[in-house]
Structure 1
Amino acid sequence: MLEIILADLLCFAIIFIVSSVIMLPKRKRTYWSIMKYIGFIGVIIHELCHYIITFITGLIPEKIHIEFYRQGSFGYVRAKAKSFSEAFLTAYAPIILITWLELSLYSTLITVQNIFLFFFILFIMLSAIIYASPSYPDVVYPLRFIKEHPAQSLYELLIALESFFIASHVVVEYKLIFPHTFYYYLIIAAFYLAQIWIIKGIIYTFRKIQNKIRSKRDKTVLYEKRLEAQW
């Protein structure tokens, strides 16, 4: 399973590099005029990736906004992350989902027979990859969460690491093979959520017991004070 994850990370890195290289000559007017018209669908896909992941992680997006200017396109999805995992996945959703989209479209592209469909898929691939890389606000969003909540972020990272090792053991032990890496991430997410909720359950139970003990002690003290008052 480690090899599968590493292969995925390599694909993410390649798409990120290609997207960044495409955006490098941005100051050249003629080049950027062509790219901004080709990439208008890519902006929509980029923001939709943010929007989809906010729902998957349980967040409620406050606002999705996309604007098209003569100088280029701009968009954002406003949502308040309550955990590091939500902040990270929401921020890097475009590079992850667009990479998978590019791979799926490429596998279709090499087998398609219709010339119109071929160029349409090629156009979508190019448009999506132009805006695949995370923007500056995307990059700093999870970093800002770490700065504001260092203990919680470290706790979540440790749980995620442990979930990866447990999921890897299960996949190897039971020889599980899936058609897409998405399913391997689902297994990791399942173990991650299971551990989070187990820990929350333990903390909740401990606090309930603690409150009952405190309540019983307070009642005993109150009863003793009443007895003293009677004497």
Structure 2
Amino acid sequence: MLNDLLLFIVIFALHIILKLIIPKKVLKKSYFKLIGAIGIFFHELSHLIMGLLMGIKPKTFEVNYRKQSGSVGYDSYEDFTFLQIFLISLAPLIFSSYAAFGMVFIMFETPVELIYKLLAGLCFISLLLGACPSTHDIKMIGQQFREDSSYSFYQLILISLSGVVVFLVHHFILEIILPFYLTFLYLIAIGLVYYIIKYLFLGISKLFLWVKIKLESSSSFRSSWKAISSSQKVYQKSSAAHNYQQERIERRQW
């Protein structure tokens, strides 16, 4: 699991270095645009796939070869949670990191012909160029966090707690070492644990709410019953006194 985090950091650093060492004039060349088109397509495809995994259907999917840009449009961002925006925005870094690692594996660990190794190298460079979230993606993360900071912070706590649980279970209970090409299963496990903890907390909160309602209803019932009982006692006393006066009058007449 820590290897995956290290991979994300390395790919992010290589993306920054590649952007710094390649002149902007070269990036505008048609042949370099052709190389970068693969990374741009994969960048937007990552947004699309993560959105579908989050249960969000996109409205549009566009990739512009000339402008070296693309977009995935949605009907509205108002119903999105911070965690959904966070994962959708970081999807290019996550998916591109694993894809770039696959290209490195093909280049150095597989007995294929040289032409395929060169193609894998070009794909590796293209994936690096489109690996990181765009400025718009980063702005969306900050904007969504500010819209509901308390719930966003709550989601960050839950996802962090889920990661700690998976780490502890993996290292101290199961003690299973997965090969690197299967380490993405840790991310799936973190997602499953997140939902387990989330609905566990929801169940506990609903249980406390149910108990609170029952206690309040029982206390109000007892107070209303006492009020009814006291009013009945007052009525009985006044009725008894009235009957006693009537008996005295009748006896006096009789």
Taking structure 1 as reference, are residues 160 and 36 closer, same or farther at Cα in structure 2, changes over 3 Å only?
A: same
Do 1:112 and 1:118's aligned partners in 2 also have CA atoms closer than 8 Å?
no
CA displacement, residues 129-184 of structure 1 (integer Å, 9 cap, x when unaligned): 11112110111221111111100011111111221222122112121222222111
Q: How far apart are 1:32 and its partner, in Å? A: 3.1
- For CA contacts below 8 A with separation 6 or more, give which structure has more relative contact order: 1
For residues 118 and 189 of structure 1, the distance between their equivalents in structure 2, rounded to whole angstroms, comes to 35
Unaligned 5+ residue runs, structure 2?
A: 225-254
**Comparing 146-155 and 75-84, the one that deviates more:** 75-84
1:108 equivalenced with 2:106 (yes/no): yes
Alignment-mate amino acid for residue 111 of structure 2: V
Taking structure 1 as reference, are residues 103 and 45 closer, same or farther at Cα in structure 2, changes over 3 Å only?
A: same
Where does residue 61 of structure 1 map in the other structure? Answer: 58
Taking structure 1 as reference, are residues 208 and 131 closer, same or farther at Cα in structure 2, changes over 3 Å only?
A: same
For residues 103 and 57 of structure 1, the distance between their equivalents in structure 2, rounded to whole angstroms, comes to 25
Where does residue 37 of structure 2 map in the other structure? Answer: 40
Q: 1:74-85, aligned counterparts within 5 Å?
A: 74-79=69-74, 80=77, 82-85=80-83
Unaligned 5+ residue runs, structure 1?
A: 222-231
TM-score (norm: length of structure 1) = 0.80
Q: How far apart are 1:82 and its partner, in Å? A: 2.3
1:51 equivalenced with 2:51 (yes/no): no
CA RMSD after TM alignment: 2.9
Where does residue 68 of structure 2 map in the other structure? Answer: 73
Alignment-mate amino acid for residue 174 of structure 1: L
Where does residue 245 of structure 2 map in the other structure? Answer: none
Structure with the greater alpha carbon radius of gyration: 2
Where does residue 142 of structure 2 map in the other structure? Answer: 143
Q: How far apart are 1:89 and its partner, in Å? A: 0.7
For residues 186 and 201 of structure 2, the distance between their equivalents in structure 1, rounded to whole angstroms, comes to 23
For residues 59 and 206 of structure 2, the distance between their equivalents in structure 1, rounded to whole angstroms, comes to 30
For residues 61 and 214 of structure 1, the distance between their equivalents in structure 2, rounded to whole angstroms, comes to 46
1:14 equivalenced with 2:10 (yes/no): yes
Where does residue 229 of structure 1 map in the other structure? Answer: none
Taking structure 1 as reference, are residues 30 and 174 closer, same or farther at Cα in structure 2, changes over 3 Å only?
A: closer
TM-score (norm: length of structure 2) = 0.74
Aligned length: 218
Where does residue 161 of structure 1 map in the other structure? Answer: 160
Q: How far apart are 1:96 and its partner, in Å? A: 1.1
Q: How far apart are 1:204 and its partner, in Å? A: 4.6
Do 2:43 and 2:131's aligned partners in 1 also have CA atoms closer than 8 Å?
yes
Do 1:61 and 1:78's aligned partners in 2 also have CA atoms closer than 8 Å?
yes
For residues 164 and 210 of structure 2, the distance between their equivalents in structure 1, rounded to whole angstroms, comes to 32
